[in-house]
């Protein structure tokens, strides 16, 4: 029996204190489940949130893998990160370790893809929720 591909929309945010939160809308078996994860990442302004997206994707992917998901498509609004993972450009030096870490984790899946969200509204809603939580300093 072929495993179903799980579609996951991800939105995230982090504050200057390295507190990050991500929301993932997991679509599988004709059901949707909202998953919340926390992570540590001190955003670097020059990266415009890419470092936060890497940390969030790594944390979400790990949670899914630990729960037995083996085929996944993760979607984001971060076109730069998608281009990084597609191998279309060099990764900035501060993202080298996060890139390699995420790539290694994705390689553990039978099939894994990170794609630009077709309907960005869903990911943007998740990002807004994460930003609100982080700004209220309740992302513990």
- Give a yes or no: residue 102 inside a domain: yes
Gap between the Cα atoms of 23 and 14, Å rounded = 12
- Give a yes or no: residue 79 inside a domain: yes
- Give a yes or no: residue 109 inside a domain: yes
What is the span of the domain harbouring residue 108? Answer: 6-135
- Give a yes or no: residue 1 inside a domain: no
Q: Which among 50, 43, 31, 19 is positioned nearest to 130, based on CA atoms? A: 19
How confident is the model over 54-113, as pLDDT tens digits?
A: 999 999 999 999 999 999 999 999 999 999 999 878 899 999 999 999 999 999 999 999
Gap between the Cα atoms of 97 and 94, Å rounded = 7
Gap between the Cα atoms of 11 and 22, Å rounded = 6
- Give a yes or no: residue 84 inside a domain: yes
pLDDT reported for residue 140: 53
Cβ neighbors of 25 (< 8 A, separation 6 or more) are: 8, 9, 32, 33, 34, 35, 122, 126
The model's pTM: 0.91
Which CATH number do you get for residue 93? 3.30.420.10
Gap between the Cα atoms of 117 and 96, Å rounded = 24
Give the confidence band of 46 by pLDDT, cuts at 50, 70, 90.
confident
Residue 11: beta bridge partners?
A: 23
**Mean predicted confidence (pLDDT) in 6-11:** 96
pLDDT reported for residue 1: 37
């Amino acid at each position: 029996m072929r495993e179903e591909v799980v579609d996951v929309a991800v939105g995230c945010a982090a504050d200057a204190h390295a507190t990050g939160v991500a929301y993932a809308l997991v679509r599988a078996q004709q059901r949707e489940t909202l998953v919340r994860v926390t992570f540590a990442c001190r955003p670097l302004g020059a990266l415009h949130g890419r470092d936060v997206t890497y940390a969030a994707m790594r944390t979400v992917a790990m949670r899914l893998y630990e729960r037995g998901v083996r085929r996944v498509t993760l979607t984001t609004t971060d076109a730069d990160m998608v281009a990084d993972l597609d191998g279309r450009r060099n990764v900035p030096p501060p993202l080298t370790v996060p890139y390699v870490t995420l790539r290694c984790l994705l390689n553990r899946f039978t099939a894994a893809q990170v794609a630009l969200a077709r309907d960005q509204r869903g990911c943007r809603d998740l990002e807004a929720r994460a930003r609100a939580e982080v700004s209220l300093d309740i992302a513990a």
